[in-house]
Amino acid sequence: MKDVYFIPDILYRYFANDHARLFRKVPYDYFPIVQQATRRIMELVLSWNPKNRAVRDKLLQDYYYKTFQSIWFLFNPYRKRSHRQRYRRMVEIVESFLAALPDRSFGENAAVYRYMCNRQYLRLYLRMWYFTWKHRND
């Protein structure tokens, strides 16, 4: 491949509206896949132009959203986990996510992200539990 171009057009958009179906599709711990794929994509893309801050920020935002989803999947009702097991794994995921960030300024300011950066694990856990409970019938 000689050149790569990024365009601002959205050519495809995927919406996962049926949470129950999504939970059945992904019954495993999603984060190791997210982490490995993100690391490889960032290495590859940033090797082409390491000074492109916009691309780097976009990749980090994508990593955050996939990490959010990984934490949310811990609350999958089809996986029998205790609160303690979920909480411990959530802390592991957040710590791993934060350790991989080159810096924390990539344009994200959601409450969940702030809880992650400030290591407010109880707030994060309760927020994710509530989100799952709220959307249980979607």
Domain residue ranges in the chain: 19-134
The pTM score is 0.79
Q: What is the pLDDT of residue 137?
A: 64
Task: Give percent of the chain with pLDDT exceeding 90.
Answer: 43
Residue (of 35, 13, 12, 33) closest to 95 by Cα position: 35
Alpha carbons 81 and 59: distance in angstroms, whole number: 31
Instruction: List b or e across 14-25, with b for residues whose CB sees 16 or more CB atoms inside 10 angstroms.
Output: eeeeebeeebee
**What pLDDT tens digit does each residue of the chain (138 aa) get?**
777 777 777 676 665 555 566 666 666 688 999 999 999 998 998 888 888 899 999 999 999 999 998 898 888 877 788 999 999 999 999 999 999 998 888 888 889 999 999 999 999 999 999 988 887 666
Alpha carbons 113 and 111: distance in angstroms, whole number: 5
Alpha carbons 38 and 62: distance in angstroms, whole number: 8
